């Protein structure tokens, strides 16, 4: 993947993903001089290739969305009923509120993970059985 995205003679290629701002900072900050640089390849991939999306629509963008909804976009109109006050329209359209509700109301799930994946994820909130802990949630 790294070679595909950094070689000028390859492509074009599009990789679309999301990254929380805290992780973006962690991966792109330069390490201290002479210190280890565990994220150099990730930083190289992200450099100049990142599009930052605001947390919420501003008043002008909400007005545009409202006009589209009034022109017959029922999905957008429905999302606007929930997002009009906080402007978090993108999150609503992506299903964020429903995902959070399920996370908080559904019973905990046990994940079946290969050993290597478990070792990678356990510090982030999985118990030895692979069940999400409160830290994960």
pLDDT tens column, 51-64: 888 889 999 999 99
H or E element in which residue 12 lies: none
pLDDT, mean of residues 75-93: 89
- Check residue 48 and give its pLDDT: 84
Q: What is the pLDDT of residue 13?
A: 75
**CA nearest neighbour of 137 among 110, 97, 104, 109:** 104
Q: What pLDDT was estimated at residue 15?
A: 77
Overall number of domains in the chain = 3
Residue 129 is part of which domain span?
Answer: 108-137
Look at the pTM and tell me if it is higher than 0.75: no
The per-residue b/e assignment along 25-35, b for 16 or more CB within 10 angstroms, e otherwise, is eebeeeeeeee
- Residues 94 and 67 both lie in one domain: yes
The two tokens of residue 125 are 């909130």
Radius of gyration of the chain (CA): 20
In a domain, 52, yes or no: no
State yes or no: cis peptide before 12, omega within 30 of 0: yes
Residue 9 belongs to some domain of the structure: yes
């Amino acid at each position: 993947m790294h070679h595909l995205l950094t070689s000028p003679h390859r492509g074009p290629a599009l990789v679309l993903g999301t990254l929380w701002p805290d992780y973006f900072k962690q991966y792109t900050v330069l390490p201290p001089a002479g210190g280890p640089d565990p994220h150099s390849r990730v930083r190289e991939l992200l450099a100049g290739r990142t599009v930052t999306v605001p947390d919420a629509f501003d008043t002008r963008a909400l007005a545009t969305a409202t006009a589209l909804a009034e022109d017959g976009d029922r999905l957008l109109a429905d999302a606007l009923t929930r997002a009009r006050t906080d402007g978090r329209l993108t999150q609503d359209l992506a299903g964020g509120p429903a995902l959070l509700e399920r996370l908080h109301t559904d019973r905990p799930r046990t994940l079946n993970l290969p050993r290597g994946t478990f070792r990678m994820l356990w510090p982030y909130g999985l118990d030895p059985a692979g069940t999400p802990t409160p830290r994960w949630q």
